[in-house]
Amino acid sequence: MLRAHYKTGLVFFPAFDWAIDPTHPEREERLLYTQDQVFEEGLLDIEGIVEYKPDIVSEMDIKRVHFCVPDVFSVTTKSHFISAGGAVTMGRAVMEKQIERGFALVRPPGHHSMRVVHGNRGFCNINNEAILVEFLRRHYGVNKVAIVDTDCHHGDGTQDIYWHDPNTLFISIHQDGRTLYPGSGFTDELGGPNAYGTTVNIPLPPLTSDEGYLYTIEHVVLPILDEFKPDIIINSAGQDNHFTDPLTNMNFSAQGYADLTRMLKPDIAVLEGGYSIEGALPYVNTGIILALAGLDYKGVVEPGFDGARIRQSEDVTRAIRRIGEVVMNNWNNRHGMQAKIRGGREFIERRRNIMYDTDMIYEMQKDEIRICDDCAGALKIDSSADTGQHILGVHIPVNACARCDAAARAWFEKASEGPYDRAFLQDRPNDEYHEVVFKQR
């Protein structure tokens, strides 16, 4: 009987009751074809590949990560609670050593969802990977985490959530933001002043194929992971890099995805995008599952695959090598660069305009971080949207020092003096969430 080399858990959640509209690319068929393929190939008959049912996260699990405006239930459905719960199910099973690796094949996706949530952007409402990470920190004492986002679109939501966290290494490998939504993820986006360098963006040129992705993993991602030494590696496993995907312009294959998974060795993979529902996803997911389990995947080939036709050009190869050199130079010089951006200041502000492309909401945001050598820093976010909502969000990091704890509490206590409808406090050291309502809308 065939036996998995690594005991691997799977969760399937197609979310039948959630869709942006019935014909939208992000719909339940994304997982139904994969489920059929997994059953037809007999993957669940392999000893050591085990299916789990998804848990449902709690409201507090979401509040550890997000400031939902005006509240959690206004911007989520039950499917969002279950999708994030599927990721948590895999995390719990890995931490309790029921399995060695896990794959949450769930939707709705989450990696475009930022710390503040006014609605849906990039098909995402809440961030499944961030909810998983903070669940593991709260319940299992996990400290250093690496999130490697291989979705074709830049994981701008995850980047935003961990911009100021030196204990979370966020690496995003994606199609160049000059050519694809959300138009971000450039090599100079390196994190906030307390976590400079732990955000790593690798924007690849259109028409990158297996060769370019695997070169990037071997020569850029793995050396950075080896130096960072995370307690756990999470793969935001988007599959829209495939050569048949209707929304992107890359030339990755099912074999390439499986090779990437074998090289990366993630503890937990969480599905993100991927919209070639019949021609790619069943084969890509099958390859990923076999690679996670340490089994031979060389027989997994999707319809229409022609390696010669999709091979990247020499110009693309040269561009990828140049990008890799820039990324590694930034990584190797991050400490000196961090000192320069701090500039002896106590606080640093950042202003941004954020577009929710799905719900057509426009947000204006200003955040302020306390510079700190002892923790991730007290953070406050002033967020107003054209929905009329204006909130203050205050975040006390998990291992907050006394000065950052005091600064954050002072901001929250003075919120009534500002123009806000509501104020929120994420008190991570005590695992508490507080809210004050000043105006009802």
For residue 64, which amino acid is it?
Answer: R
The active-site residue, picked from 66, 80, 111, 112, is 112
117 closest CA partner among 105, 130, 132: 130
Residue 191, Ramachandran bin (φ over 0: left; ψ between -120 and 50: alpha; else beta): left
331, 221 contact by CB (below 8 A): no
Three-class SS state of 244: coil
| Cβ burial, residue 172 (10 Å; 0-12/13-18/19+) | buried
The Cα 360–Cα 371 span in angstroms is 34
Residue 173 in contact with residue 213, Cβ under 8 Å? Answer: yes
Instruction: Note if 112 is an active site residue.
Output: yes
Edge-to-edge strands, sheet with 232-237: 47-52, 3-13, 101-106, 268-271, 232-237, 145-149, 168-175, 199-204
What's the Cα-to-Cα distance from 438 to each of 390, 412, 423, rounded to whole Å? 10, 13, 8
Helix (H, G, I), strand (E, B) or coil at 266: coil
Beta-bridge mates of residue 383: 365, 391
Q: Could you give the residue ranges of the DSSP H alpha helices within 141-280?
A: 156-161, 210-216, 222-228, 254-264
Q: State how far the Cα of 146 lies from the Cα of 295, in Å rounded to an integer.
A: 24
3-class DSSP assignment, residue 366: strand
Strands 145-149 and 168-175: parallel
180-186-191 Cα angle (round to 5): 130
Residue written as tokens 């996803």?
Answer: 281
Question: Residue 8 is which amino acid?
Answer: T
Cα 413 from Cα 405, distance rounded (Å): 12
Between CA 381 and CA 115 the distance in angstroms is: 9
Rounded Cα gap, residues 222 and 227, in angstroms: 9
Catalytic residues: 112
